[in-house]
Homo-oligomer: A and B are copies of this chain.
């Protein structure tokens, strides 16, 4: 049995680990902060070091030689040119037209695949997580931003120029809130982590009593999406309304997806997805109100089940879709 190393490059953390090609287990998974102290090139060095550490862990466990390692799958944020293996731009990491695939491949001597991080998370949830068994799957990653991926007929769909899946940047309010992308009314401007926190700050700004004041110790700037879910779970009415509103916004985005792509699974991954029923029950209700019944009936809408490893697992799966390994 051969192995593939998966690399998930997040804005905050790098997660690297290996899996046998049957996906039966994870070996040598470890996490380091993404930001290396010495700039953009140092991130590549850190990634390659982590790949080597993982390979050493695999070989220590199963024996054999480096031949056992089929390659490295990399998931990375930002617009990519997959064919050329180039990261077009990632503001967080300071890369621009950066030949990431070649850099890692040259340094490790292994074949490397490069794909979008949200695509990888979707593929991971489909391969081994909550979207298992789906044929047409839409993944939505909820975090600092809202990303997404499409699996159509069991394969990642990249579209004409590797943009496919940017669900966070679909308009749900024609003249709505300004989004970080420059557009107005994007789903991300309402339902990303920072957007949830912003709406909560607006909701308590008039001074009405709320658990949120206590949880942030009077400093509204410290409210995060996690604070909101916590206050809601503790029965706070204002936080609860913010969560319900979030569910309605996400429900609109998901309903739009159902009416156009008619998937059999929608999987929501990332921190926000852990909110559980308080989010998912009103979200599913909003989808039912807005989408066609045959589309609703055909689709399960579920939280991701792989937590922090979806991206790494999916990077392995993306490598295998590009480089079928015997």
Q: Which residues of A line the B interface, CB within 8 A?
A: 79, 88, 135-136, 148, 150, 152, 157-167, 169-174, 176, 181, 183, 248-249, 252, 255-264, 289-292, 294-295, 297-299
Q: Which of B164, B174, B183, B298 contacts A249 (CB 8 A)?
A: B174
Q: Which 8 A-B pairs have the closest CB atoms?
A: A159-B262, A161-B298, A160-B298, A170-B256, A160-B264, A164-B262, A163-B295, A166-B259
7 residue pairs from A and B, CB less than 8 Å apart: A152-B157, A166-B259, A166-B295, A173-B174, A181-B292, A183-B255, A261-B261
What is the distance, in angstroms, from A189's C-beta to the closest C-beta of chain B?
12
Residue among A135, A169, A181 facing the most chain B CB atoms (10 A cut-off): A169
Complex CA–CA separation, A148 to B291 (angstroms)? 15
What is the distance, in angstroms, from A208's C-beta to the closest C-beta of chain B?
23
Query: With a CB–CB cut-off of 8 A, which chain B residues contact A174?
Result: 172-173, 176, 248-249, 252
Query: With a CB–CB cut-off of 8 A, which chain B residues contact A294?
Result: 79, 88, 161-163
Cβ-defined contact, B252 with A159, below 8 A: no
What is the distance, in angstroms, from A238's C-beta to the closest C-beta of chain B?
20
Complex CA–CA separation, A112 to B167 (angstroms)? 37
Complex CA–CA separation, A262 to B82 (angstroms)? 14
Which B-chain residue is minimally distant from A263 (CB atoms)?
Answer: B160
Cβ-defined contact, A169 with B262, below 8 A: no
What is the distance, in angstroms, from A235's C-beta to the closest C-beta of chain B?
27
Complex CA–CA separation, A157 to B164 (angstroms)? 15
Q: Which of B136, B162, B165 contacts A260 (CB 8 A)?
A: B165
Given contacts A161-B295, A163-B294, A164-B262, 10 further A-B contacts (CB under 8 A): A79-B292, A159-B263, A163-B258, A165-B260, A169-B291, A171-B252, A171-B255, A171-B290, A173-B173, A261-B261
**A161-B297, A294-B163 given; A259·B170 CB < 8 A:** yes
Which B-chain residue is minimally distant from A255 (CB atoms)?
Answer: B171
Q: Which of B150, B167, B262, B290 contacts A183 (CB 8 A)?
A: B290
Query: With a CB–CB cut-off of 8 A, which chain B residues contact A261?
Result: 150, 157, 159, 164, 260-261
Query: With a CB–CB cut-off of 8 A, which chain B residues contact A166?
Result: 259-260, 292, 295
Complex CA–CA separation, A263 to B150 (angstroms)? 13
Query: With a CB–CB cut-off of 8 A, which chain B residues contact A165?
Result: 260
Query: With a CB–CB cut-off of 8 A, which chain B residues contact A297?
Result: 161
What is the distance, in angstroms, from A146's C-beta to the closest C-beta of chain B?
11
What is the distance, in angstroms, from A63's C-beta to the closest C-beta of chain B?
42
What is the distance, in angstroms, from A21's C-beta to the closest C-beta of chain B?
25
Cβ-defined contact, B260 with A170, below 8 A: yes
Query: With a CB–CB cut-off of 8 A, which chain B residues contact A159?
Result: 136, 261-263, 295, 298
Which B-chain residue is minimally distant from A158 (CB atoms)?
Answer: B262
Query: With a CB–CB cut-off of 8 A, which chain B residues contact A262?
Result: 158-164
